[in-house]
Amino acid sequence: MAHKKLYLPQKICSTCQRPFSWRKKWEACWDEVKYCSERCRRTSVKQAPNA
């Protein structure tokens, strides 16, 4: 049996600067994904200056 996930696209998280791989739940919106996790997304919102 061959492993099907040898290559998955990767991005760098905007908050923690770590690489993360494509996930099935991001299939429809991969171009808009900026954060590796919900925790990084919440942290970046807190760090953003109030405009």
pLDDT tens for each residue of 4-47: 777 899 999 999 999 999 999 999 999 999 999 999 999 987 77
DSSP string, 8-48: --EEE-TTT--EEE--GGGTTTGGG---SSHHHHHHHHHHS
Whole-number pLDDT of residue 48:
65
CA gap 4, 15 in Å, rounded: 29
The one-letter amino acid code at 49 reads: P
Whole-number pLDDT of residue 49:
66
- 39 or 48: whose pLDDT is higher? 39
User: How much is the pTM?
Assistant: 0.72
CA gap 16, 27 in Å, rounded: 22
CA gap 28, 34 in Å, rounded: 14
